[in-house]
Amino acid sequence: MKIYITGATGYLGKYIKENLGANHEIFTPDLRKASIEDFGQADVIINCIGKTGDGEKNVSYESYLESNYNSVVKLYDFFEKTDAKLLIHFSSIAAVEELMSESDLSEDAPCNPISAYGITKRKAEEFLIEKMPSTGKKVIILRPTRIHGPQDKGTIFQLFNFLKKGIPYPFASFNNIRSFLAIDNLTFLIDGIVRKKDTIQSGIYNVNDDQGLSTLEIIDSFGKYGGIKIRKMFIPQFLFTGMAKVGDAIKLPFNSNTLGKITQSRIVSNDKIKAALEVEKLPFTAQEGLIKTVKSFNN
């Protein structure tokens, strides 16, 4: 098939391009400069464009809106006018919940985005849901949890670099579990969606590993597979809660939202996508994906 990938220069787009390139003809148009002619022969369009804000400061809402919403509107207009039968769009679990979910978060959960990133991702979802064609063409909206893999520079890498400096991990008194997504499991799912494009139903699908990971488990892997000495501080939780409330009151970077993202659990269900692709489990466990990611940090 002829597969067109927008955002192919980013971390996610590069991996998908490499994985699908073995069996399909891949095109990587620059959406900023593209016209309808650049998508004229597409069978499948995959949109990987998006601004996450990881490691960025002072990013405006307008910047998020341009990357996470306006680009989707433009791309969907091209999709409608081409012969492409399938559009795969990457949203985010942040469009639903950015802080906490103690039980498995499903695709039907109420949406509660709080950041410019999550709000603009949800705005794009709403646009696609409203426009979603009833016949012929299909739109798959994917909600990944935190994606990681070799050469990743996201959350896990940032935590690794922080602890690599010899700084003790101060939140060891919290024991949380969060759903992540290893890049190899993601490319497996994308390949499955493309292969089943004639039978899979349009809609929203969570994509994440079968198991969750605790922050303490991730930190321990840094010592075991990343070669750094790990030190932990078991500071009482109520002290952090108090500091976060002060941050809320006087608008400090460390506030309740920040503390929640670090210490609370967010568990996500991937049952819907596995049922659609008729797979019982993903090829890599969360632990296997984590080990591969951590080992790559020293390469």
Q: What is the pLDDT of residue 52?
A: 83
Tally of domains within the chain? 1
Q: Residue 105's beta-bridge partner residues?
A: 268
Q: Is residue 101 part of a domain?
A: yes
Which tokens is 293 given?
């990611």
CATH number at residue 113: 3.40.50.720
173 close to 179: Cβ distance less than 8 angstroms: no
Q: What percent of the chain has pLDDT over 90?
A: 86
CA distance 229 to 219: 10
Q: Is residue 49 part of a domain?
A: yes
Q: Is residue 74 part of a domain?
A: yes
| Series of mean pLDDT values for 10-residue runs along the chain (299 residues) | 95 95 94 91 96 72 96 95 95 93 91 94 97 85 96 90 94 94 97 95 97 96 96 95 93 85 92 98 98 92
Q: What is the pLDDT of residue 54?
A: 59
Q: What is the pLDDT of residue 269?
A: 97
Q: What is the pLDDT of residue 58?
A: 74
pTM value is: 0.93
Q: What is the pLDDT of residue 57?
A: 64
Which tokens is 236 given?
């009482």
Q: Is residue 22 part of a domain?
A: yes
CA distance 125 to 129: 6
137 lies in which domain range? 2-151+179-209+269-279
Which tokens is 238 given?
């109520």
Q: Is residue 102 part of a domain?
A: yes
Q: What is the pLDDT of residue 53?
A: 67
Q: Is residue 295 part of a domain?
A: no
Strands 44-47, 86-90: pairing kind: parallel
Q: What is the pLDDT of residue 25?
A: 96
